[in-house]
Amino acid sequence: MIDGAAIARTIREEVARDVAALSVRGMQPGLAVVLVGDDPASTVYVRNKDKACTGAGMHGVTVRLPASISQQQLLSQVDDLNADPAIHGFLVQMPLPRHLDADAVIRRIDPKKDVDGFHPVNVGKMLIGDTDGFVPATPAGVRELLARSDVETDGQHCVIIGRSNIVGKPMAAIMLQNQPGANATVTVCHSRTKSLPEFTRRADILIVAAGKANMLRGDMVKPGAVVIDVGINRVNDESAPSGHRLVGDVEFDSVREVASKLTPVPGGVGPMTIAMLLRNTVRAAERAIS
């Protein structure tokens, strides 16, 4: 089992040490998170980000805006954060209410403060292997999990299921790079892929970010493969006090029989996302003074 919670804790401790080193130079990294409306899942994420930020000794700000805010007001909030010297990195929590244009909001963020790595400038830098940009936290966290679990990636066949801008596409760009911890042969599968099991059975490393509960079964996995489950799905469970529970995209019980290494849900990729976001923010702060 790959223990994402433990690896994320180690990274948060490393971040806290970097924050302490910066404080000697009179600087405290600042992260702001903009939350529009009161989507319950987003509210939980944002609270966890704020807690982790404070826990690492950073300056954390949550900007709460009503769901009725106009595009112009939201862009003006982004402008304020771009200009705020106490804020080194910030993000606007997605999804946004439907009347707002998320792409225009992302493009308004100063790429130097775009610690989510969603701005086209940072997406482009990642693709060409320019390490001076920001890489999105979730795929960066997957790469870190593989590296810290001593998974060989060089020359290995990495199959990714999912092509979102947040996970699948950046994940493919990362694993392709001519860099340590990458150098893989990459195949990207998605909802239109025919004969999915023919691809998944040829994977040495399988990264599943399809957003579909239990879609990867044990008979789709080559014995000894490493399986990373990026999914978080809420399924009904009458035995649970809340009436539901969280499961990944991987059918855990059948895949654990064939995989050599596997991430659980929860406690796998999830905790890494916040840890990597904090690391991106410290980098933004370091670059602001260098």
Rounded to the nearest 10 degrees, how much is the dihedral formed by the CA atoms of 229, 164, 31, 50?
-40
Nearer to ligand GUN, 166 or 285 (CB): 166
CB of 257 to ligand GUN, least distance (A): 31
Helix or strand run (H / E) with residue 20: helix 4-24
Between strands 244-247 and 261-262, the pairing is unpaired
d(CA 198, CA 145): 26
CB of 34 to ligand GUN, least distance (A): 9
d(CA 265, CA 4): 9
Nearer to ligand GUN, 11 or 166 (CB): 166
Nearer to ligand GUN, 22 or 272 (CB): 272
Which of 99, 92, 108, 86 lies closest to 34 in space, CA to CA?
A: 92
Nearer to ligand GUN, 91 or 259 (CB): 91
Q: Could you confirm whether 93 is annotated as catalytic? A: yes
Options 18, 49, 177, 229, the catalytic residue: 49
CB of 145 to ligand GUN, least distance (A): 16
The residue whose two tokens read 């403060």 is 113
Nearest residue to the partner ligand GUN, using Cβ = 94
State whether residue 152 is helix, strand or coil. Answer: coil
Nearer to ligand GUN, 166 or 259 (CB): 166
Tell me the sheet residues that pair with 60: 31
CB of 129 to ligand GUN, least distance (A): 22
CB of 177 to ligand GUN, least distance (A): 21
State whether residue 78 is helix, strand or coil. Answer: helix
**Long-range Cβ contact pairs of 188-196 (< 8 A, separation 24 or more):** 188/159, 188/160, 188/162, 188/163, 189/159, 189/160, 189/161, 189/162, 190/161, 190/162, 190/163, 196/161, 196/220
Which of 49, 125, 124 lies closest to 89 in space, CA to CA?
A: 49
The residue whose two tokens read 């009436």 is 243
Nearer to ligand GUN, 118 or 252 (CB): 118
Interaction site with ligand GUN (CB under 6 A): 91-94, 116, 137-138, 166
Q: Could you confirm whether 49 is annotated as catalytic? A: yes
Options 18, 50, 114, 116, the catalytic residue: 116
Options 18, 50, 77, 93, the catalytic residue: 93
The separation between CA 100 and the C-alpha centre of its own chain, rounded to angstroms, equals 23
Q: Could you confirm whether 116 is annotated as catalytic? A: yes
CB of 17 to ligand GUN, least distance (A): 24
User: Could you list the active site residues?
Assistant: 49, 93, 116
